[in-house]
Chains A and B, each alone.
Chain A
Amino acid sequence: MRDKSFYRSIGLKCGLEIHQRLKGGKLFCSCRSTLSEEPSLEIIRKLRAVYGELGVVDRAAAFEHMRNRKFVYKYYPSESCLVECDEEPPHQVNKEALEAAITAALMLNAKVVDEIHVMRKTVIDGSNTSGFQRTMVIALDGYLEYKGEKIPIAQVCLEEEACGILEDWGDTVVYRLDRLGIPLVEVSTGLLEGYSPEEIQEIALLIGVTLRSTGKVRRGLGSTRQDLNVSISGGSRVEIKGVQELELISKVVENEVERQLSLIKLAKELKEAGVREEDFKPPMEVTELFSETKNRVIKRALKSGGVVFAAALPGLSGFASRELCPGLTLGKELAYHARAYGVGGIIHSDEDLAKLKLEDEFKKLRELLKAGSRDLIFIVAGPPDRAAEASRAVVERAKQLLNGPPEETRAANPDGTTRFTRPLPGAARMYPETDIPPMPIPREYVESIRASLPEHWEQKVKRFTEQLGLPRDLARQVVWSEYLSLFEEAVEKTRLPPTLIASTLVSTLKDIKRRDKIPVEQLPDEKIMEALLAVDGGKISKEALPDVLRELAKSPGETVQAIAARLGIKPITLEELREIISSTIQDNMEVVLEKRERALGLIMGRVMAKVKGRIDGKVVSEEVKRKLKEVLSTSRVEA
């Protein structure tokens, strides 16, 4: 286990970018953003690279053009309009979202800018129909208190969400337009130095809680997303995108530190072994050599007009299976670079060539490439232009091994490892949005928001404990949970005990997810509220609530009433309960007369079996006791 002093000693520096979706409609049009609809149409497009204002074609755009991919956009009638299709200019910035972003900025003690300038950030993967993402700086230079220190908050931005990706078949990508344009607040910290990965995760959590305490953010899968910048002394700045779960942050940081340390060590080893940059030769086409191959993957690639490229990587034989960090070998790392160019990956000489039926080919290849026994040989198969680019990318990446970890953008995998996506973009990819004029932000407006800022989360915990009577732990859990604003709404709208609401939101839902493996986080707030209101209105008992929530999570389209009816948990009246108790006692009269008061447990059990979940258990117990006493007193008289 590596401790804090270790991370200090290697000079770990981190930067966090927290993205959080906001409630309300879209940022630049009047569509709603509920993500609840079925698509009604689809639009098919291709990207074509054109000369920019400086007279050059952007390299990344040219690359995307070469890939010649088809983009399919699913259109949702209530959740997308011509703005998402990029057929109409953006409307004015959504005032509600702007206010939410300013609120968040003020809670992070940041200074709101005098004038907002909307900017365009080039995005060429098709996830934005316009080819850019709109973003605007809202505030700068804030801080958050953490362990008595001030965590610098460099910047708070308001930006639009990109399209959601539905399918990626390599040459065709299917996107959903409904997600495009949902407002996001993006919080970027300053450089975090001298913290351990766990502490960095805690800081991310703290920012998340602060954002949620505004009451203006969305919850649920995908509503928060973290990007991390990680570097160590002797390493490089690496940006890791799309960490979906806050709990994964420390693991991602640990893995990245490990990866960079391994790469620094590897560079040293290669240099000591005398490997030089000029030893790396460009890849060559070797398709001919594989014309009789028995390997199925390559056979298939050649059949569809593909080619094979190969190159030798000097001094790297035996290194491809080395783990850079848990779950990531050097071979896999090199393959990611090939994959970025749209091929399946690479096959290299450290693999089990006999199993791959490639022994003969690789033997010949070693001669053809004039490679020595210490050199790693790899091949890439695929369409001609892609295979050429991909193999070149692998050689380039291998060459960089001599210099330690390069600056790059990586994406987080769900297991906490990361994969290469592209080199770090330059500052030039940001330019002004000319369709929206600059917006002056009057000081009185900012001050009016400051005057009615929501409570700090610590105050909320205090208030929930003192005024609502929640146990302190539960209060803290609610405040730190995604359900904070739903909790506050439910306390206001129902007469249910706050403890019941809180435990339903923070533990019952979690139990359902864990025990029944149901994606309960997809259940919208309105449906949970519907269930709570049903308990409040006596339509279902509180005992039935977990069952109802579980069924709701399975089919959120159903009403609480329908589910209650389906489960047969229609609540019963006191009269009905009394009848059931009487008949139960009647049916068990012998035992009752024999055991007298001690028959309570048995009767209670039998009655509960019939009425469970349909009426408050406390009422049942009282009624059973009362009735039993009554029966016993009359029976005594009779006896």
Chain B
Amino acid sequence: MIEGTGFGHTPVYPRAEKLSWLPSIKRAVEESVALVMTSQALYGRTNPYVYRNARVLKQAGVVYVEDMLTEVAYVKLGWVLGHTQDPKEVESLMLTDIAGEISSRTLFNTYLI
């Protein structure tokens, strides 16, 4: 589980390899470790398309799980891995709303108290 910044980012700066998380992430994916991205932000939805670094992460195999909370995603990933180890199936299950953990729409007043 990675709790990224903003839309779900980690450092991936291509020329400062020491600071980039990308080599480690690629190695993890190669070794069949499921990688799931949520956000440190309290509210909102992850998005792998707006900024380049997130596109790179998604391409490397990180699964962006919409607006799922980190804690929920952690428990869900444990449950999913108990059923399958196949990366495609893990991704598809993580992105299937099972019990209201993913909402397809974020309403304007979702975050109003």
Contacts and interface: CB of A to CB of B under 8 A. Distances in A.
Contacts of A437: 49, 55
B85 interface: no
Interface residues of B, number: 14
A435 B106 contact: no
B105 interface: yes
B107 A81 contact: yes
A80 B47 CA distance: 19
Nearest to B66: A91
A435 B50 contact: yes
Contacts of A435: 47, 49-50
Contacts of B110: 82
B48 to A, nearest CB: 9
A77 B108 CA distance: 8
A191 interface: no
A29 B108 CA distance: 13
Contact of B106 (A41, A75, A77, A81): A81
Interface residues of A, number: 18
A85 B105 CA distance: 12
Interface string A560-587: 0000000000000000000000000000
A87 B44 CA distance: 10
Contacts of A82: 105-108, 110
A35 interface: no
A43 interface: yes
B109 interface: yes
Interface string B41-75: 00011010110000100000000000000000000
Interface string A83-99: 00101110000000000
Contacts, number: 36
Interface string B15-58: 00000000000000000000000000000110101100001000
A31 interface: yes
B104 interface: yes
A596 to B, nearest CB: 73
Contacts of B44: 88
Contacts of A29: 105
B109 to A, nearest CB: 7
Contacts of A608: none
Nearest to A92: B49
Contacts of B104: 30
A43 B7 CA distance: 24
A436 interface: yes
A436 B106 contact: no
B63 to A, nearest CB: 15
Nearest to A91: B104
A89 B47 contact: yes
Contacts of B105: 29-31, 81-82
Nearest to B107: A81
Contact of B108 (A30, A81, A434, A436): A81
Interface in A63-78: 75, 77
A75 B49 contact: no
Contacts of B50: 89, 434-435
A31 B108 CA distance: 12
Contact of B109 (A31, A41, A89, A434): A41
Contacts of A87: 108
A29 B49 CA distance: 15
A80 B106 CA distance: 9
Nearest to A90: B49
B84 to A, nearest CB: 24
A29 B50 CA distance: 16
B49 A43 contact: no
A88 B108 contact: no
Interface in B77-107: 104-107
Contacts of A436: 49
A89 B106 CA distance: 11
A88 B107 contact: no
A557 B50 CA distance: 42
B6 to A, nearest CB: 11
Contacts of A41: 108-109
A241 B45 CA distance: 37
A176 to B, nearest CB: 14
Contacts of B106: 81-82, 88
B108 A85 contact: yes
A622 B87 CA distance: 73
A435 B106 CA distance: 17
A30 to B, nearest CB: 4
B45 A43 contact: no
A549 B42 CA distance: 51
B108 A75 contact: yes
A367 B30 CA distance: 87
Contacts of A81: 105-108
Interface string A418-442: 0000000000000000111100000
Interface in A13-56: 29-31, 41, 43
B49 to A, nearest CB: 6
A47 B29 CA distance: 45
B55 A43 contact: no
B34 to A, nearest CB: 22
A435 B7 CA distance: 12
Nearest to A85: B108
B108 A43 contact: yes
Given A30-B104, A435-B50, 18 more contacts: A29-B105, A30-B105, A41-B108, A41-B109, A43-B108, A77-B107, A81-B108, A82-B105, A82-B107, A82-B108, A85-B108, A88-B44, A88-B45, A88-B47, A89-B47, A89-B49, A435-B49, A437-B49
18 contacts: A30-B104, A30-B105, A41-B108, A41-B109, A43-B108, A75-B108, A77-B107, A81-B108, A82-B110, A85-B108, A87-B108, A88-B44, A88-B106, A89-B47, A89-B49, A89-B50, A435-B47, A436-B49
The 10 residue pairs across chains A and B that have the minimum distance between CB atoms = A30-B104, A81-B105, A82-B106, A435-B50, A89-B47, A30-B105, A89-B50, A75-B108, A435-B49, A81-B106
